[in-house]
């Protein structure tokens, strides 16, 4: 294999390779950013009074969207503010999606990396450093994630301070039908492991196994229906995706941010009619704890 000399080139001020060229390259192949299996939703998206969002990308399987701003050269204050502003506009306009701001720049300095880090955890934000590499008459782009989105705790991971409730609490909050649906799910769970029992919390009903919290699934009973959440790998969701679509169950797809998917149980007989499918999914999720 022959060695070929490469050279890093700077795009800022380059008469041929400008920001529009970078946008085009990413738009044609969003996977270059290594943020998942993404598709382009919009390019140069107009925000009245605030300018244009460079790229809006979306995960193919989940409700995750990425507001991407590109900066040639070094990051600066206006670039950070603009990125966060576009993210804020999009999340307010489309609250049904999860949104993450993405800064792409040739040089993310330590000073601005420190500033960005202050936001991370409160504003979901990713910083990606871009390099243009010239090899003979060809130019390639390389992207390296140098600041990842900080995943905050969820499903009451802080169990020591989570507010513990009991069944009587939920009997006052939701209908008899919602609790009957919940009981049917736990009957299936007990067939998988007899030591499983409900863990009643203020915002959901999780899973105890031998009195230890093991939330590979949890339920959020509503007034007259139940949101059934299954925490597992995307590959397991893919395995059952077709069967779920062919069933009469209402699903919300896969959330790659939290590695879970949702089934809305709206009728009393939803579990009974789909017992075999639901048990198979739960068994797989349990085996992959």
pLDDT in tens, the chain (289 residues): 777 778 888 888 888 888 999 999 999 999 899 888 899 999 989 887 778 899 999 987 777 899 999 999 888 778 888 889 999 999 888 887 889 999 999 888 777 777 776 766 678 888 899 998 988 888 899 998 887 765 544 444 444 445 678 899 999 999 999 999 999 999 999 999 999 999 999 889 999 998 788 889 999 999 889 999 998 888 888 899 999 989 989 888 787 767 788 899 988 889 999 999 999 999 999 988 7
Query: Residue 54: what are its φ and ψ, rounded to 5°?
Result: -60, -55
- Alpha-helical (H) ranges within the chain are 19-28, 77-93, 110-119, 167-173, 176-192, 234-246, 270-273, 275-287
Are residues 129 and 105 in contact, defined by beta-carbon separation less than 8 angstroms? yes
H-helix or E-strand containing 213? strand 212-213
Q: Could you give the CA distance from residue 90 to residue 98 in angstroms, rounded to a whole number?
A: 10
C-alpha 237/C-alpha 255 separation (Å) is 10
Percentages of the chain per state (helix, strand, coil), in multiples of 5: 35, 35, 30
The CATH class, in words, for 7-147 is alpha beta
User: For residue 239, which phi and psi values (nearest 5 degrees)?
Assistant: -60, -35
Is CATH 3.90.1150 what the domain over 167-287 is classified as, yes or no?
yes
Chain centroid to CA 205: how far?
A: 22
Domain ranges of the chain: 7-147, 167-287
What is the rounded (10 degree) CA torsion for 234, 236, 238, 242? -150
Regarding pTM above 0.85, the answer is no
């Amino acid at each position: 294999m022959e060695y070929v000399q490469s050279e890093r080139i700077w795009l800022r001020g380059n008469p041929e390779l400008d920001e529009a060229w970078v946008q085009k390259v990413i738009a044609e192949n969003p996977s270059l950013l290594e943020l998942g299996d993404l598709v382009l939703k919009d390019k140069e998206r107009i925000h009245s009074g605030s300018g244009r969002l460079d790229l809006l990308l979306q995960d193919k399987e989940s409700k995750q969207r990425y507001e991407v701003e590109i900066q040639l050269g070094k990051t600066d204050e206006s670039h950070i503010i603009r990125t966060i502003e576009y993210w804020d506009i999009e999340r307010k306009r489309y609250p049904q999606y999860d949104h993450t701001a993405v800064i792409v720049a040739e040089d993310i300095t330590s000073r601005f990396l420190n500033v960005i880090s202050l936001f991370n955890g409160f504003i979901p934000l990713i910083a990606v450093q871009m390099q243009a590499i010239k090899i003979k008459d060809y130019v390639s782009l390389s992207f390296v994630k140098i600041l990842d989105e900080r995943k905050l705790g969820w499903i009451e991971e802080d169990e020591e301070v989570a507010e513990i409730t009991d069944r009587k609490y939920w009997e006052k909050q939701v209908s008899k039908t919602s609790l009957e649906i919940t009981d049917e799910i736990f009957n299936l769970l007990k067939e998988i492991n007899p030591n499983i029992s409900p863990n009643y919390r203020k915002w959901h009903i999780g899973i105890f196994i031998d009195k230890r919290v093991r939330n590979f699934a949890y339920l959020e009973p509503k007034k007259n229906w139940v949101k059934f959440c299954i925490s597992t790998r995307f590959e397991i969701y893919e395995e059952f995706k077709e069967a779920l679509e062919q069933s009469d169950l209402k699903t919300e797809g896969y959330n790659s941010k939290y590695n879970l998917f949702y089934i809305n149980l709206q009728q009393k007989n939803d579990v009974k009619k789909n017992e075999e499918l639901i048990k198979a999914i739960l068994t797989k999720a349990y085996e992959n704890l």
